[in-house]
Amino acid sequence: MTVRRVMGIETEYGVLATGPSGAARPAANPMLLSSQVVTTYRALVARAGARPAARWDYDDEDPLADARGFHVRRSAAHPSMLTDDPARPAPPGPAAEVARPDLEEADDPSAANCILTNGARLYVDHAHPEYSSPEVTSPRDGVLWDVAGERVMLAASRAASALPGGQGIVLYKNNVDGKGASYGTHENYLVDRAVPFAVLAELLIPFLVTRQVFAGSGRVGLGPTGDEAGFQLTQRADYIEAEVGLETTLRRPIVNTRDEPHADRTRWRRLHLILGDANLFEVATYLKLGTTSLVLWVLEHLDELADRGLRAREDLAALRLADPVADVQRVSRDIDLVAKLELADGRTMSAIEVQEAYAGVVARALDLLGPGPDADTETYAVLDRWRSVLARLRTDPQSCAREVEWIAKRRLLDGMRRRDGLAWDHPRLHALDLQWSDVRPERSIYQRLLAGGAVERLVDEEAVADAVHHAPTDTRAYFRGEVMARFPDQVSAASWDSVIFDVPGATALQRVPMLDPLRGTRGHIGALLDASDDVGALLAGLRGE
């Protein structure tokens, strides 16, 4: 048993323009602001010696494939779903065959896209700058390259704000704009395709609904526009409207059904989760990734566990919620952590009790199948931290204030309310909530707590600074990042599962497929990269010549 699997986080950042006095300019075009952030960072990296200006390769993307076994007609798809070709929205009228454009036709030289030397992608998605982390294999690395994304966004916004004749641009690592819009923090986990999607969704949903108790980042205001006074655990809860579904910007589901693995689809599926918050607390991100990975491991081994006498499938099925969509909001608004959720069989359990049941199944599975050669120390560390946080949330939630983000935020807000006699709908509380997630350290409330030692860190700044420029060494992100650093002028395009080279003297572009995320690592390709003076030599080595 192991917590390790290929995973990553995509974060859309809130964007705001400011005038010379620092006052907000809400009428500024967010698409333009986001494009300035991305293209300025691309130029900034170029001045540092690397030029990640390659196009994104959309050729292998298929966002309308549904894990339930069908394709959505392109003519029926909402334009926001067509991420494989943002220049071509869904055609009007009845269903029509839409030919996929070739690579040159699909590319827009002015498109705001940047493939980074750390293997990540920085681009504009739905009027927000998005940092999509490189593929990692552990929760701790997930934290490291997620925090590296915060530093990328800080550098990008500062550089864009300093442009002659430009305007101030401020970025926020949050999920709501306070006016009814929500933008996503999406998690991705590679899962064994042998697990039926229906089983995956059914047994995972109660866990996802209730993990808010330790993974929420906290929010002032209730309802999509935040008009109702109050505080809740998460920022995304008021925007979840379905149990499963393909959409990400409307009718948002607990479990997304996009069947786009960016890998060998005969072996894996990519579980795409869109209900989570953007976390600044590193322990919250660590637990979010780690506990989800542990539960997925159990779901991948249900038959083996049954053969060994553990009825994990039945134990988890017994946790099925009667109304999971409504419970997402119910858990988020239960700041005292005492509300009872109705289960499908008529019993009731609190969110913490549901989480404890999941942790118990994971622990029994580890005892039965572990430790084994795959059970590393991080597996036990995640499980121990998970159970410890749950126990303390049950008895003394304030003892989790260094690890659980919503608790720290609420404690700060409660202090302000008591000191100044403020109601939950006071504008100052909403302002503090926004300032919490400001990427600028001199303005960020979170960064002040961090500097004061009030937040537990899992990674250090030296490692973060390295992760800004260098990819994980144990996934294909290493190859993607290294060729962007070493041969930027010869990389014509790239995606998660391919790199396309423009080799001097060659008659055609040459694609290197990367359908196995665990190849292209430093151990696999590092020596060849070091021995290759140019792209031609690298490709010859890959071909075994």
C-alpha 414/C-alpha 408 separation (Å) is 10
Strand partners, 438: 172
Residues 6+ apart with CB under 8 A from 188: 7, 8, 9, 10, 270, 271, 272, 273
CB 385 within 8 A of CB 281: no
Given the residues 125, 146, 177, 438, the one annotated as active site = 125
Which residues, including other chains, have CB under 8 Å from residue 253's CB and lie 6 or more apart?
240, 241, 242, 243, 244, 245, 247, 274, 275
Beta strand pairing call for 185-192 and 113-115: unpaired
| CB half-sphere exposure, 250, CA atoms < 13 A | 5
Cα–Cα distance between 522 and 409 in angstroms, integer? 40
Count of CB atoms within 10 A of residue 89's CB? Answer: 14
Q: 141 catalytic, yes or no?
A: no
Q: Residues 458-507: pLDDT tens digits?
A: 999 999 999 999 999 999 999 999 999 999 999 999 999 999 999 988 88
In this predicted structure, what is the pLDDT of residue 170?
Answer: 96
pLDDT digits (tens, 9 = 90+) for 257-279: 888 999 999 999 999 999 999 99
Token code pair at residue 377: 């120390």
| Residues 43-53: b if buried by 16+ CB within 10 A, e if exposed | bbbeeeebbbb
Residue 45: which of 471, 462, 440, 468 has the closest Cα? 468
- Return the closest-CA partner of residue 383 out of 286, 315, 472, 311: 286
β-partners of residue 254 are none
Question: For residue 185, which of 130, 232, 237 has the smallest C-alpha distance?
Answer: 130
Write down the pLDDT at residue 209: 98
Element (H, E) at 273: strand 268-273
Report how far apart, in Å, the C-alpha atoms of 404 and of each of 214, 464, 473 are: 5, 21, 29
**What is the rounded distance in angstroms from the CA atom of residue 256 to the CA atom of residue 247?**
7
Cβ atoms of 360 and 347 closer than 8 Å: no
pLDDT < 50 regions, the chain: 89-110
Give the three-state DSSP class for 364: helix
Domains in the chain: boundaries = 193-259+281-436, 474-542
Helix, coil or strand: residue 503:
coil
Q: Please name the amino acid found at residue 282.
A: E
Q: What is the pLDDT of residue 376?
A: 79
The pLDDT value recorded for residue 244 is 93
Round to whole Å and give the CA distance between 19 and 472. 39
Q: What is the CA radius of gyration of the chain?
A: 23
The candidate with the shortest Cα–Cα distance to 183, out of 434, 332, 12, is: 12
